[in-house]
Chains A and B, each alone.
Chain A
């Protein structure tokens, strides 16, 4: 088996995550889809690191994880504060600035 298969898996997971972001309406599930996309990118980075035989790809994947953790903390805080004011976690209900 060629390690390129890992790249195909990453591409597939990224696509599923992107479709999920477009299709779903629940803000929490949207965040999970974004997490899946970040994970797919990490898999691609680790595979590149293996293909090229150096550790820089793993370092970038590590930083991606840190940024993902920060993003989740702020994003979930936003979801909770929106839920308190609008009593809904659906992104369709967040339409206060709509004309």
Chain B
């Protein structure tokens, strides 16, 4: 039997590990899955240390949660953070069959463990002490009995590194366009010849998510970064702000004795107002 302290530690860590694993499978976004998996791996690392495998526990934290999970997060960044899983089922009934099959598999595994004759245990304390510690014990084994496997893993790691470089290498198939060619192409297409307008030109909002206003007061969506637009993080200017700015323009024109600018079109104001009421309804829900 192990100590009570280890029992308490095991039950706490087991809950964390299983919760993290379930979270990894159930979260729809890849980033959340990666964070759940990192939690599970840290819990497992503490389990290793509790079982006397101190070196493996440290390696688990350094290699798995440190290096491998960061690699995962980098690839998630490359592939796109927003790439959520599709809920569409391609094979009919596959998910239900997978869950049922998994349950059966788990029951079989647990039944096998329960039937095994594992009523006593020896602990690695004696083995660690004989070699003068966990790390010297592992080193003695790696460099004597398992030295061939160790050499082969070295070759495997080199092959993997070369393979990754070969797989992700991209030959430049077209010549990089110069600034002159880009400018000529812009004029030829004619969609947006001038540079894009800057966001938030009014002094009230100079954040990049606030669209700049055109002379007639309508927001210029093109002035906001396309990434923010796609994520739906563009700040919508309220209708009363637009109206107040219209009044300001009118009074300025009056002071300067200029012709007043064209009042803001009613359709634009109505669109903004309907959006606002929609938002309020969503919030009240």
Contacts and interface: CB of A to CB of B under 8 A. Distances in A.
Interface of A: 1-9, 11-20, 22-26, 28-29, 31-33, 35-36, 39, 42-43, 46-47, 49-56, 58-59, 61-63, 65-74, 76-81, 83-84, 88-90, 92
Interface of B: 1-2, 6-7, 10, 14, 17-18, 21-22, 24-25, 30, 33-34, 37, 40-41, 44, 47-48, 51-53, 55-56, 59-60, 63-64, 67-68, 71-72, 75-76, 78-80, 83-86, 88, 90, 94-95, 98-99, 101-103, 105-106, 109-110, 113, 118-119, 121-124, 126-128, 131, 134, 137-138, 141-142, 146, 149-150, 153, 156-157, 159-161, 163-164, 167-168, 170
Contacts, number: 240
B71 A62 contact: no
A39 B156 contact: no
Contact of B105 (A1, A7, A15): A15
B157 A50 contact: no
A14 B109 contact: yes
A61 to B, nearest CB: 6
A22 B101 contact: yes
* Majority secondary structure, A binding face: helix
A27 to B, nearest CB: 8
Given A7-B113, A23-B95, A36-B24, A89 B40 contact: no
Nearest to B160: A70
Given A42-B56, A59-B142, A62-B59, A16 B41 contact: no
Contacts of B48: 42-43, 46
Nearest to A71: B160
Contacts of B146: 59, 63
Given A16-B25, A61-B56, A67 B1 contact: no
Contacts of A6: 10, 47, 51
Contacts of B109: 11, 14-15
B141 to A, nearest CB: 5
